[in-house]
Structure 1
C-alpha cells in the first residue's frame, strides 16, 4: 500500500514518543460533533437511507449521488468499470488515483496541471484532483465541464476528485442547478472526512450519470456504508450553521498558516486545510519537525516537498511556531 499521512503509530515506533502534534493529514482538526446514534443502527443491516443521498445532493448541488465507504472505495473501483483505456492523471496529486488505474490494464500518463488541456485529446480518461492535494492548484469549473464534454463525445470520462472542495469559492463540478442529470462522462468524488473532520466515518459520495452509479453500486456490493456513519453524516450535511461557521474558521486558519510559514521564509500554496511547498531539504525538515514531536507529510519522490495541516488549538500553533523558528536558525 502507498504511504499516507496520519500514520502516528509509525511515528511513535520510530521516535519513541506519544505527544504528537499531527499535522500530516490536512483533515479539519475540529470535527463535526456527532449526534447520539440510534440503538438499532448497531443491530440492523445498513440498508441505504434515501434521506442521506438527498441531503448530499442538496449540499453538493448534484442531481444524483451514490454514498460510498470513503472516496477511496470509488478510486479503487472505477478503473474496473472500463476496458483498457488511455488514462491521464494530474501530477503531482493524490497518489492512489495513478496507483489503481495502473493496475487494471490501462495505459497511464501523469501530466502537470499546465499541460492538461492539450492532453484531453490524447486520452480516454482524465483524473483531476481539484483543489489539488498536495499543492492546492485549482482548475476553473468551466474548464472542467469543457473537458468533460470533449471526453464524453468519444465515450471518455473526466473524474474530478473534490475531496478538499468544501472551503473553495467555486461551485462543485457536480453542481448542475436545475438539470436533471450529471453530464455524460463527468464523475465527481466528494469526501465527508476532510471538511467535516470525520475521516474515521469512511464516507464519501460519487456524482455521475445514473447508469454509471448503478454499475458502481453493483461492483461495490451491498451494505457499503455503516448505519452509524449514515446517521452522523445526515446530521452533518444538514447543519448549515455549523458549515458556514467552519468555512470562515478554516479560511482564517489557512491564511494564518500561510502567513506563519512566510514569516519563516517559506513560500507555500494550498487550501484552507493545508499548505504545501517544494522543499529542497524535505527529509531534513521532516526529521527536524519529528524531533519536536510534530508529524508532517513528507513527499520525497517526484514532487519533493512538505505538506502540513492546521494545528488544533493555540498551544499547537505556538508549538509549530517554535519548531519553525528552530528550523530557521539551524539552516545553513
Structure 2
C-alpha cells in the first residue's frame, strides 16, 4: 500500500497529511519514549578525530560483558555481514524469520544468497522449522531476532546454544538482540564463556532503542576474534563519532538509570496496552506481544488500513506490516485464506506525558465511534 508511512518517517508523514512534524505522536517505532538525558558534551568530541577511547571500550565491556565491534548502528553491520562471512566460511544460504526487520533479508538478497524462512508468529512452528533445517544435513546460516520485532517471538539462551551446537561447519548463528535490554539475562552474552567456547554465534546489540537515542547511531557486534577483526577492517578507524561515544560512556555506566528505565518501560507498556484494549477488543484483534518496547496485534488488513488512516489524519503514526512484508504465510497452521490479515504495531506512550496520553485516548475513542 503506497500511502503507508513506515517507522519513524515523520518527514514523509508531515508532507502527506499536512501536519507539522512537531505535532505528531510517533508510535511507529520501538524506541524508549523516555530517553537517557544527554550529558554535557566536551567540545573536544566535535574537534578531534573519533578514535575509540579507553573509557568508551571500558563502558562497553561493563554493560555488555565483552568488548565488541562498535559501529554506526547495527544497520551498518547488517549490510556488511553477507560480505564478511564468506571470508571465514563458504557462501552459504541463510534461514530467516518470515517477518522481522526487513533489512536482514534485503542485505542477503543483495549478495545473491539463497534464503529460506521460518514462521515468526507461531512459536512451535518456528522451532519445528528451525530443527528440521538444522537436522537436514545442509549447512546454512541462521538468523534469530530475539525478541522478534514485530511478532514478539522469543528463544531462550539455552535453546540458542543448543542450536549453535547443531550448526554445520562454517555456518553461523546470528542473533539480533536489538530489544533484549529489558531482560539482559536472556542475552546469549550472559554466559560469555559458553558463547566464546562455541565460537559460531554472532550477536548484534542496538544502543538507541533501550536508551531512546536512535539518532546518535550506535550498535555493537560480538563474535569470534576472526570475524570481529574482519568487521573492524571493513568499518575503518572512525566508525563511531565522538559525541556518540561520550553519550554512550555516560549511559552504559549509569546502572541506576538503566534499572529505573526498565521499570518505566514496563509501566508505559501496560498503560499503552490499556489505551488500545477497547479498540483491539472491538475489532477482535489477536494480541501477539505487549511486554516490551512495542505492542503488536494481528487483525484484518482492511480494518488495519482504516485504523492507520484515521490515526494518521489525527497526527498519530503507527506501523502496519502488510502481506507483502511476509515471505511466507502469516501462520504455519493456516493456508492462503489467512492472507487478508496483517500486523499492527504501536510503540509506547510516556505515562508522564499527559499530552501524549490524552491524545491517544481521545483519538481511539473517536475511532471507536466510527465503528459503531
Q: Is the shorter-chain TM-score for this pair beyond 0.5, marking a shared fold?
A: yes
What is the SS of the residue equivalent to 1:278? strand
Deviation at 1:207, TM superposition (A): 0.8
CA distance in 1, matches of 2:153, 2:195: 30
Matches within 5 A, 1:251-290: 251-264=266-279, 265=281, 266-268=285-287, 269-280=289-300, 281-290=303-312
CA distance in 2, matches of 1:69, 1:271: 28
Q: 1:10 aligns with which of 9, 12, 17?
A: 12
CA distance in 1, matches of 2:275, 2:227: 45
Matches within 5 A, 1:1-332: 4-18=6-20, 19-61=23-65, 63-81=66-84, 82=86, 83-113=90-120, 114=126, 115-121=129-135, 122-151=138-167, 153-168=168-183, 170-177=185-192, 181=196, 183-264=198-279, 265=281, 266-268=285-287, 269-280=289-300, 281-301=303-323, 302=326, 304-312=342-350, 313-331=353-371
What is the SS of the residue equivalent to 1:175? helix
What is the SS of the residue equivalent to 1:200? helix
Deviation at 1:179, TM superposition (A): 6.0
8 A Cα contact 2:184 2:190, kept in partner: no
RMSD over aligned Cα, in angstroms?
2.0
Q: Which range moved further: 181-190 or 8-17?
A: 181-190
Q: Which range moved further: 316-325 or 129-138?
A: 316-325
Deviation at 1:274, TM superposition (A): 0.6
* Offset from partner CA, 1:17-46 (integer Å, 9 cap, x none): 111111111111111111111111111111
State the aligned residue count.
329
Sort the Cα spacing of 1:57 and 1:149 in 2 relative to 1 into closer, same or farther, 3 A. farther
Deviation at 1:270, TM superposition (A): 3.8
What is the SS of the residue equivalent to 1:181? helix
Q: Judging by fraction of residues, say which structure has more helix.
A: 2
8 A Cα contact 2:50 2:241, kept in partner: yes
Q: TM-score, normalised by structure 2?
A: 0.83
CA distance in 2, matches of 1:57, 1:131: 22
Deviation at 1:109, TM superposition (A): 1.5
8 A Cα contact 1:254 1:310, kept in partner: yes
Give 5+ residue unaligned stretches, structure 1: none
What is the SS of the residue equivalent to 1:134? coil
